[in-house]
Amino acid sequence: MSTVDANQASGAPVPHSHAVDHGHGGEHAKHPFLAHHFETPAQQFDSSKLGMWLFLATEVLFFGGLFVAYAVLRNRFPEVFSYASHYLSTTMGGINTCVLIVSSLTMASAVYFAQRSRKRAMLVCLWLTMAGAAAFMVIKYFEYTHKIHEHLVWGSTFYVPPDHEIAVIEGSHEIAAPAAVAQGGASSHATAATSHAASTSTDSVGEVLAPAAMLAAGGSPSFVGAPLTELSAVKPASRGPLGVALSGSTDAAPHGSETIAEGHPSAHLEDATMPANVHLFFAVYYAMTGLHGVHVLVGMVVIGMLIYRGMRGDFNSNFYTPVDLVGLYWHIVDLIWIFLFPLFYLIH
Amino acid sequence: MTTLEAHKPETLDIHASSDNYLTHSKGFISWACTLDHKRIGVMYLVGVLGAFFVGGIFAILVRTELLAPGPTIVGPFAKWMGMDPADVYNQWFTLHGAIMVFLVIIPSIPAALGNFILPVMLGAKDVAFPKLNLFSFYLWVIGALMAVLSLLMGGFDTGWTFYTPYSTTSPAGGVIPIVAGAFILGFSSIFTGMNFIVTIHKLRPPGMTWFKMPLFLWAIYSTAIIQVLATPVLAITLLLLIIERTVNIGIFNPSMGGDPVLYQHFFWFYSHPAVYIMIVPAMGIVSELISVHSHRHIFGYRFIAFSSVAIAMFSFIVWGHHMFTSGQSALMNTIFSAISFSVGIPSAVKVFNWTITLYKGNISLNTPMLYGLAFLFLFTIGGLTGLHLATLSVDVHLHDTYFVVAHFHYVMMGSALIAMIGGLHHWWPKITGRMYNENWGRFAWVLVFVGFNVTFFTQFMLGSQGMPRRYYDYLPEFQTYHVISTVGSYIMSVGFFITAGYLLASLVNGKRAPANPWGGRSLEWQCPSPPPHDNFKTPPRVGDCYDFSIVRWSDEENGYVVDRSLDPSLRENPTPAKGH
Amino acid sequence: MSHEPHSPPPIEAAAGGHAHAAVHPAGDQPLVGHLVPMTTLVVTACALLVLTCITVAVRYMDIGEFNIYIALGIAVIKASLVALFFMHLRWDRPFNMIVFFGCVLFVVLMMGFCLMDTSQYRHEQINGNPPLVAETLLQNAPNAPVGRFDQ
Ligand SMILES: [Cu+2]
């Protein structure tokens, strides 16, 4: 979206043969970047800026929806947020914050140099900004892959032990249907949970997994029509009275003899003190940081376009609107991260 | 065009059918890649009217099904599509609602008429960001295609509100495409709004101060504020809904600890203001229709202008009145109920001002004016029944009944769409350069007005007696009302077909339109019909756009002209010369 | 060609003597926009980095529920720094400032209403096994498989 906006507002010369007819050909001849429907460069610049600020307002409200979801869920489950925050790496989050702040500085400097027609310095700053964005995404990639590997994710997968641990258990306990379990792809989670529970008792981990197994094994009706995986993996307490009734009615769930605690259980599933609904923290976490990451990627694209146009020599002290607008966009990306960082990484 | 003399050459241009925006360049590409706000407006208009036709078909299907209790016409469809009759009916009313809301009413006035009229009325050459304007039109097209795609993928039966958890679990195959389509349409709406705000702020010509702007522009400005501030919330809501449905993220899913009521908060944080995206520009049109066609200065200009802005602001803090029975807390119910009542104040300010404008006016009962008067009547009914629904205890009884259906049809169709059609007639000569047949226009208006009231007033009765909405079956005692209502909808659709007929016929054999057929004073009437590519060859002279005392009929032009020589003599006499 | 609606007097007073662009159409001053000295930008960035360190440090202090307020307060200060200096809002047209703070206000408004609502209904209607339902079920149907809700 912002790509379009930046291009649009840039006032890239609209070919217009009628410019002279308007009786103010003078201004337009002097400034080839001035679109036909504007009278002066200042008017065009102000319009572009206002347009960009309005766009940033929509961005704020767009993220605002997620912030409201965050607030409502945190208000309802404060213990979940203070518990789950500890699974996030403050170091990585902190480094990312610093990376974004520095890239914001380089972006502001790019505008500084563009305003002074210093093309080389501006390009260097843009490249630095690009490098900052890339570094941010690389760090984010490592954070994400690590968490996904540990099944610190949203939804039912959160309650499925990570694949490598399942493999360990299988190796030591020779459980049936290893193939389905070992693959552990998104579609086979239901199977994984089921066959898992078949091998576990209702100890600490079993407490987490039991309802999953019970629902899956009992073949209970999916009362909201959700896929079985969804219902099955969630603690009864989060499912309302009906959920409790369903889980309670499936006492006939098969009991295994061993607990996976003897294997290499994942930290969060082993933790008996884990509150219910921790998966919701990760749902909001991935939604908000994911959307933010998408904005960083879009930022990289538009900065790349600026570099291209900058090398072509489009910008000078009279016309640098696109640099300014992309700068605004990049700062709002930084600004949103400034809130995301304490809200996710720094919960006491 | 300071004098009548200066006015002549331009109008002579029209008679010579010289360069205008329609003839400026030719060929499909020149339309598809146009950056001219007028052509974009016309393309929107064609698209919106096409979508109105499709949405209307589903409305007729729904009404026909309700002619008798039990399956009436859903049976064959259900067999053909291999579905339960109730599911077929669910898809019909959902399609009707979603198409009419997202594809028709929301873009109809701002994007279609607004795009065409706003820059001309303002005296600008174009909107601030022409490319963005074209881009938002294509977003609209993509959104419309997504709606078609969702039909091909099995339709959707969630109701236009997409309430969770049903929308996340509904077996219908087309939910994701239509939700994605609504998401895209939302961005189309956002970009249009941004464009209009910047245009009004930055592109006003010399002399066009805020309080010289026609009230239609104030209304469009207020609408644009809502579009920019509310629509992003819809976007994030729909995005979360798609994520919920695809990867089960659980934020709205009660079985995973999520909160379906939160979805409703999100949805109505947009969708109540969206009601004002529909009605506020309609009010702007009505301000123009009433003052121009009664040739009388609008009464209480600033009150009408500020009440538009006030409505825009109030609209953000009343959304909870849609959730009185959704498990919203008693505290919030009370607060939202109280604030909802207060929206009645700015709305009533407008209605009173329009009524006083009519008083002792020199009223010409042209088709646009008839639609304007219909708006006054229907909006009053729609608005007052809104107060019934804002009352907590009454709403518990009326919620999800036909009373609600009747109420929002009076507001959305009887007000917003009727005003849109009025505006379409009002500016038809400007857009096409042709006059439509006035007698057919009045006749069709009678059918639409009568048909509308027959259709929807009965639904107030149905609802207050407890007929719930969204059912294809009902108790036999409701049948009489349902039959009357269905007959009304047939009358109304005949009216619309006649309207389409004479409007299309006018393109072929309509009289050439003068620059100013109604006697308006705002700037679009100072520009030839149809306007030239750049709207104004010389910067237009801005005056009081509601001072009709210096507007007189000219046989020569076969239309009205602004004659500033009348100024000193007629200053004291508010009644303008009229020449029919 | 005077455009009174869209060229209000330059806001130099607020800019504290910085050159305002529209007034200098020639020379090495830009035609449009506002020049911010590099030192301002660098100082802003340093302040942001320092505040980041502070907010991380506060995380490890146990001050009860004040933690979130302090963290949010620091975040608001940081955001204001970014908006005012990096985004030139301090020298920009007032309406841009209104747009920006207006939309933040709307987010706060929406959040406020939603929080007021959730904190009212959370125990009774949404959150798992409400104690009342569980007790009622236990009384009326002693054998019903009812779990207890402990938060
Ligand atoms: Cu509402």
Minimum CA–CA partner of C65 in chain A: A348
Could you tell me where the DSSP H helices lie in B115-174?
A: 115-122, 130-152, 166-169
Specify if B303 maps to a domain. yes
Q: Which helix (H) or strand (E) holds B441?
A: helix B438-464
Helix then strand then coil, % of chain C, to nearest 5: 65, 0, 35
Q: How far apart are CA B38 and CA C73, in angstroms?
A: 48
- Number of CB pairs < 8 Å for B and C? 57
Is A85 part of the contact surface with chain C (CB cutoff 8 Å)? no
Closest C-alpha to C82, from A60, A307, A119, A291: A60
Domain residue ranges of chain C, discontinuous segments joined by +: 27-92, 93-151
Q: What is the DSSP letter of A174?
A: -
As given in the structure block, the two tokens for residue B88 are 């077929």
Closest C-alpha to B423, from B295, B281, B307, B263: B281
Return the amino acid letter for B411: V
Q: For residue range B447-472, what is the model confidence (pLDDT) as tens digits?
A: 999 999 999 999 999 999 999 999 99
Q: Domain holding B338: CATH number?
A: 1.20.210.10
Place of tokens 């605690």: A261
The answer to whether residue A123 scores a pLDDT higher than 90 is: yes
Three-class DSSP category at A244 = helix
Distance of CA B270 to the CA centre of its chain: 17
> Choosing among C31, C50, C138, C148, which should be mutated to test the A contact, i.e. which has the most A CBs within 10 A?
C31
Q: How far apart are CA B224 and CA A6, in angstroms?
A: 20
Q: What is the DSSP letter of C123?
A: I
CB contact under 8 A, B204 and C5: yes
Q: For residue range A7-57, what is the model confidence (pLDDT) as tens digits?
A: 444 433 333 333 333 444 466 666 778 877 888 888 899 999 999 999 999
Q: What is the pLDDT of residue A148?
A: 87
Strands B551-554 and B434-435: unpaired
> Choosing among C100, C101, C113, C124, which should be mutated to test the B contact, i.e. which has the most B CBs within 10 A?
C113
Q: For residue range B25-48, what is the model confidence (pLDDT) as tens digits?
A: 888 888 888 899 999 999 999 999
CB contact under 8 A, B265 and C103: no
Q: For residue range A313-338, what is the model confidence (pLDDT) as tens digits?
A: 889 888 899 999 999 999 999 999 99
Q: How far apart are CA B550 and CA A324, in angstroms?
A: 48
Task: Write the DSSP string, A98-153.
Answer: HHHHHHHHHHHHHHHHHHTT-HHHHHHHHHHHHHHHHHHHHHHHHHHHHHHHTT--
CB-CB contact of C128 with A237 (8 Å): yes
Q: For residue range B184-194, what is the model confidence (pLDDT) as tens digits?
A: 999 999 999 99
Phi-psi category of A10—alpha, beta or left, where left has phi over 0 and alpha has psi -120 to 50? Answer: alpha
Query: Among A50, A68, A240, whose Cβ lies nearest the Cβ of C128?
Result: A240
Q: Average pLDDT in the B519-524 region?
A: 89
Q: How far apart are CA B439 and CA B369, in angstroms?
A: 13
Q: For residue range A257-280, what is the model confidence (pLDDT) as tens digits?
A: 333 333 334 567 777 777 878 889
CA B321 to centroid of ligand 1, rounded, Å: 6
Closest C-alpha to B92, from B47, B158, B152: B158
Q: Average pLDDT in the B75-81 region?
A: 87
Specify if B251 maps to a domain. yes
Q: What is the pLDDT of residue A71?
A: 93
CB-CB contact of A94 with A345 (8 Å): yes
Three-class DSSP category at A39 = coil
CB-CB contact of A135 with A299 (8 Å): no
Contact residues for B126 (Cβ-Cβ < 8 A; gap 6+):
A36, A37, B35, B36, B37, B119, B535
Task: Write the DSSP string, A220-238.
Answer: ---TT---HHHHHTS-GGG
| Segments of chain C scoring below 50 in pLDDT | 1-29, 122-130, 144-151
Helix then strand then coil, % of chain A, to nearest 5: 75, 0, 25
CB contact under 8 A, B203 and C114: no
Specify if B25 maps to a domain. no
- The model carries a pTM of 0.83
Taking residue B309's Cβ as centre, other Cβ atoms within 10 Å add up to 16
φ/ψ (deg, to 5) at C143: -95, 0
Specify if B24 maps to a domain. no
User: Looking at beta carbons, which residues of chain A come within 8 Å of B258?
Assistant: 73, 280, 283
CB-CB contact of B492 with B59 (8 Å): no
CB contact residues (below 8 A), chain A span 17-56, against chain B: 18, 21-23, 35-38, 43, 46-47, 50-51, 54-55
Could you tell me where the DSSP H helices lie in B359-437?
A: 367-390, 392-398, 402-411, 418-432
Contact residues for B375 (Cβ-Cβ < 8 A; gap 6+):
B282, B286, B289, B414, B415, B418, B419, B422
Place of tokens 């809502």: B226
Q: What is the pLDDT of residue A308?
A: 95
CB-CB contact of B407 with B384 (8 Å): no
Distance of CA B522 to the CA centre of its chain: 21
Chains sharing 3 or more CB pairs under 8 A with chain B: A, C
Q: Average pLDDT in the B488-505 region?
A: 96
Count of structural domains, chain B: 1
Q: Which helix (H) or strand (E) holds B561?
A: strand B559-562
Q: At what angle are helices A278-312 and A321-345 packed, to 10 degrees?
A: 160
Q: Which residues pair with A200 in a beta bridge?
A: A258
φ/ψ (deg, to 5) at B516: -135, 80
Three-class DSSP category at B60 = helix
The ipTM of this complex is 0.90
Query: Among A60, A112, A328, whose Cβ lies nearest the Cβ of C104?
Result: A60
Mean per-residue pLDDT over chain A, rounded = 71
Residues in chain B: 580
Q: How far apart are CA B13 and CA C147, in angstroms?
A: 84
User: Looking at beta carbons, which residues of chain C come within 8 Å of A61?
Assistant: 103, 106-107
Q: For residue range B120-131, what is the model confidence (pLDDT) as tens digits?
A: 999 888 999 999
Q: For residue range B239-262, what is the model confidence (pLDDT) as tens digits?
A: 999 999 998 888 888 778 888 889
The answer to whether residue A185 scores a pLDDT higher than 70 is: no
Range of the domain at B322: 34-570
Q: Average pLDDT in the A161-165 region?
A: 69
Q: What is the pLDDT of residue B580?
A: 43
The answer to whether residue B61 scores a pLDDT higher than 60 is: yes
Chains sharing 3 or more CB pairs under 8 A with chain A: B, C
CB-CB contact of B534 with B125 (8 Å): yes
Query: Among A112, A320, A335, whose Cβ lies nearest the Cβ of C79?
Result: A335
Q: Average pLDDT in the B52-78 region?
A: 92
CB contact under 8 A, A55 and B194: yes
The answer to whether residue B81 scores a pLDDT higher than 60 is: yes
Specify if B12 maps to a domain. no
For residue A234, the number of C-alpha atoms closer than 13 Å in the C-beta half-sphere is: 30
Return the amino acid letter for B134: L
- Number of CB pairs < 8 Å for A and C? 218
User: Looking at beta carbons, which residues of chain A come within 8 Å of C3?
Assistant: 39-40, 43
Q: What is the pLDDT of residue B25?
A: 83
Instruction: Give how far C150 is from chain B: nearest CA, Å.
Output: 15
